[in-house]
């Protein structure tokens, strides 16, 4: 980080950050724009894009680069993991606790010191599963 160029807090940036932090659905830039616009009607999509880039460069948010889809943004910066639906593209956070185990194994097996990680699991979300197989999940007794 360039100390000569301190991170500037602007109203727009603050609102973008707030909107991202209070959602868990990993919105695209367009979706962020739609939300921010309700509070700042004059903001442009370009401004939202630019600020999202700056915020992710500063490490205040995360950018999720998913090949073949629009970038998504995440207000959570602590290491955590995602599961993505291959059908509708929705992304959810995975519960923590699984990964320290993997990191430990990697260290044992490769001698790497792991400093950060990204992990994405891909599958079908409950909604899409229902559509694929209407009998599955239709059972009201199902509960895990």
Eight-class DSSP state of 8: P
Beta strand pairing status for 81-85 and 120-123? parallel
Question: Can you name the residues that pair with 144 across neighbouring β-strands?
Answer: none
Stretch that binds Zn ion, among 2-10, 45-53, 85-93, 95-103 (CB under 5 A): 85-93
Question: Closest CB to Zn ion among 28 and 47?
Answer: 28
In the stretch 94-133, what mask flags binding to Zn ion with x, by CB under 5 A?
Answer: -------------------------------x--x-----
Across 24-56, b (16+ Cβ under 10 Å) vs e yields eebbbbebbbebbeeeeeebeeebbeebbebbb
Cα–Cα dist 81/64, whole Å: 11
Binding flag, residue 74, Zn ion (CB under 5 A): yes
State in angstroms the smallest separation of the CB of 61 from Zn ion: 10
Contact with Zn ion (CB under 5 A): which of 28, 31, 87, 106?
Answer: 87
Which residues sit at the interface with Zn ion, rule CB under 5 A?
A: 74, 76, 85, 87-88, 93, 125, 128
């Amino acid at each position: 980080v360039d100390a000569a160029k301190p991170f500037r807090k602007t109203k727009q940036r603050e609102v973008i950050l707030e909107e991202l932090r209070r959602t868990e659905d990993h919105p695209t830039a367009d979706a962020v724009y739609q939300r921010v616009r309700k509070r700042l009607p004059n903001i442009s999509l370009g401004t939202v894009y630019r600020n999202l880039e700056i915020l992710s460069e500063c490490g205040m948010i995360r950018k999720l680069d998913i090949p073949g889809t629009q970038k998504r943004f995440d207000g959570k910066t602590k290491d955590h993991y995602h599961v993505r639906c291959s059908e509708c593209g929705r992304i959810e956070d995975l519960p923590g606790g699984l990964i320290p185990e993997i990191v430990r194994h990697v260290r044992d097996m490769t001698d790497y010191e792991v400093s950060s990680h990204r992990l994405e699991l891909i599958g079908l979300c409950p909604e899409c599963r229902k559509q694929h197989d209407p009998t599955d999940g239709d059972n009201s007794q199902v509960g895990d």
